[in-house]
Structure 1
């Protein structure tokens, strides 16, 4: 015979709630220590919620909160036959004579019980949603992501804000500088694997939102893939725990995991992805593939190619990856393919603003750099000088506002190749000479860097291998 388990009672403790209110009514100064961490909804009974809300309001206005000043507010709240309870109940609270030193402990217990009630309520909501078979509603996987996000929001709210002394912040800054000095690369963040870019940026720093933008065919995805691969390989080879590399979560909303893998194989073996796709591969190339697969078997690079992700789903998946694989860099390809998850969003500019804010919040919450790719407007094509500017960021000025770093890719060779003059002309000679000078050259323009210089870094770009690499050292500071 099966036994039906009895459900646990709703978690609450009236005595502790009464004890804390007693302390606050007798000694208003205690509120300074707990006022920012305790909210009315944390109390179980509506009466206790109202008493705490009222005394909080009075204390913040610089007034005294005691049974006399609270009497009128509590009477208005109780009304009817219960009005007479206000005098006796407030007097009983003050008469408890609980030690003031217990206040912080009571706050901790009250909050713990509140979270337990929230968890129980969330569990009921999850159970109910799982039983609703709605064609237009979220499927099971989406429900899991929604539940994970709700749990995360509960955990996020539980994290107390902290105020740091300048001495503490100063110590952290000096330790960061010392760490950079001790590293051979002098890079304190995640290395891009590109020397001049690392020198200009100091690596990709935790909590930074880094925007990499360009017009189509400039190599946005190629550069992002190169940076992700370089960081992951540095992490894999980091036997001395130098910390330059990182596990990488790559969210590809445009290309499949297969296509990205083929690009990485192409850049490492020299066999173009186009040849691999068509099967035009020499027999001698296969041993290269075998050797590469052995070397990269443990590469900490994780690709999620789910299309049309919302920012909320992206955060849920990134947080899960960080928990399981300890990733320290997130790449998003690309910004404009993300959604807010709202079906009635008509204002694309506003929607994109919410997306960029969400990416910045994700960088801060997970304490990792987020490298997000972005398209540029067609205004670039209308100008004689095709070098991108901050004003070219497509659809929203919030990208520039929220980003810590904004980088553009500019390949003059791409545009010059389309301006080929007539064969045999004098212009043709100059054109050929200039094309030889800019052959396989790419310029990365750092148009914004919140904590460092702006300028240009020049890289080598091999279009066949979709690979950016170090060029002869040449940087231009603005």
Structure 2
């Protein structure tokens, strides 16, 4: 028996229809003839050819990662996962920072875990290369203030929007994104931290797996509707802690195989020093691409500057990728 729609879902549908009428948009969805699709496909290929660049999407800001992915592609759902203390939020926010500095389009962050002020403080520490503990405590040295001013100037007047509503539902997230697009134009990137904190209104909570599956599908739908990459952070199962090799694999994604199915790219953040403090790879993070629908899988390495909440490039070519 099909699930009856909640009041929130009905309101969301009504808003969608009203918005379509207000903007005089043609009705979307439904079959499209092959000739029309071919025209669009050839136009895109021609545009990419004339650009003559390896990066066809939104640059990540990291050289080897861009080489592996060709940038973050429109309509892709990108999962960033990792165990606690690995730096997955820092990595995702660095992707946001790089997007904000490279595009005039809107960038939207849904931070379900951290308040917006904390997010911005971390961004300022990263962009200014200032010890984040000093920024949070307000104990800045004389040479920190110019760095802070420079970071503020980098973010000032950018189209960056942060929504820190806790427990937001997929339908409310979609409605708020529509309003933002109506008011501020095309969206370049959406980031969600993190998907397990989203809630389904009216759910009994009996099957968290089904809830996460619905959330995962909704995030992929969000990416398609706004034709922009959506980065969603995800938790990993604790069971990987019992393995000798603690590098994550796709099956470690917590609570739902649907995340693996819906994702176009799955990236894991792994730092060996978290488990092995005496490792020779201190300050090195592995970005493990466990799935890429249209590209290679493998590992790239970045420098991790924890006190600055920042990842940076290592020497070019510090990656290992498979052809499939």
Superposition TM-score, scaled by structure 2 size: 0.89
Structure 2 Cα separation of the partners of residues 407 and 388 of structure 1: 9
Deviates more, 1:258-267 or 1:287-296: 287-296
Would you say 1:286 and 2:145 are equivalent positions? yes
Partner of 2:74: 206
**Structure 1 pair 298/146, CA: closer, same or farther in 2 (3 Å)?**
farther
CA contact (8 A) 1:149 1:316 kept: no
Match in the other structure for 2:310: 467
Q: 1:235 aligns with which of 65, 78, 103?
A: 103
Aligned counterpart, 2:222: 362
Gaps of 5+ in 2: 1-5
- 1:168-247 aligned at under 5 Å gives the runs 168-183=36-51, 185-236=53-104, 246-247=105-106
> Contact 1:253–1:334 (CA<8 Å) still a contact in 2?
yes
User: Within 5 A, what are the aligned runs for 1:51-450?
Assistant: 147-152=11-16, 155=20, 158-165=27-34, 167-183=35-51, 185-236=53-104, 246-326=105-185, 327-417=187-277, 431=278, 434-435=279-280, 438-450=281-293
Q: CA deviation at 1:171?
A: 4.0
Q: Match for residue 3 of structure 2? A: none
- How much does 1:185 deviate? 4.4
Contact 2:253 2:260 in 1 (8 A): yes
Q: Deviations over 1:220-260 (max 9, x none)?
A: 11011110110111114xxxxxxxxx421000000111111
Alpha-carbon distance between aligned partners in 2 of 1:160 and 1:412, rounded to the nearest angstrom:
46
Query: Contact 2:78/2:266 (CA < 8 Å) preserved in 1?
Result: yes
Q: Secondary structure at the match of 2:147?
A: helix
- Cα drift, residue 347 of structure 1: 0.7
Q: Which structure's CA Rg is the greater one?
A: 1
- Counterpart CA distance in 2 for 1:162 and 1:173 is 16
Aligned residue number for residue 110 of structure 1: none
Distance in 2 (CA, whole Å) between partners of 1:367 and 1:349 is: 27
Q: Which has the higher helix share?
A: 1
Q: How many residues align?
A: 310
CA distance in 2 between partners of 1:174 and 1:157 (Å): 23
State the match for 2:299 in structure 1: 456
Q: Displaced runs of 4+ in structure 1, greater than 6 A?
A: none
Give deviations 1:403-458, integer Å, cap 9, x for gaps: 111111111122111xxxxxxxxxxxxx5xx42xx121111111111111111111
Whether the aligned pair in 1 keeps the contact of 2:59 and 2:72 (CA below 8 Å) is yes
Q: Would the alpha carbon gap of residues 185 and 399 (structure 1) be closer, same or farther in structure 2, given more than 3 Å must change?
A: same
Give 5+ residue unaligned stretches, structure 1.
1-136, 237-245, 418-430
Shift of 1:392: 0.2
Asked if structure 1 preserves the Cα contact closer than 8 Å seen for 2:103 and 2:188, the reply is no
Q: Deviations over 1:126-150 (max 9, x none)?
A: xxxxxxxxxxx99xxxx7x964542
Measured at CA, do residues 157 and 253 of structure 1 come closer, stay the same or move farther in structure 2, by a change above 3 Å?
Answer: farther
Tell me the SS of whatever aligns to 2:315: strand
Q: Offset at 1:265?
A: 0.8
Q: How far apart are the structure 2 equivalents of 1:308 and 1:250?
A: 14
TM-score by length of 1: 0.61
CA gap of 1:214–1:172, structure 2 versus 1, over 3 A, is same
- Displacement of 1:173 in angstroms is 3.2
Which structure's relative contact order is higher, taking Cα pairs within 8 Å and 6+ residues apart?
2
Task: Name the CA shift for 1:180/1:439 in 2 (closer, same or farther; >3 Å).
Answer: farther
C-alpha contact (below 8 Å) 1:408/1:444 kept by paired residues: yes
Per the TM alignment, residue 284 of structure 1 is displaced from its structure 2 partner at its CA by 2.8
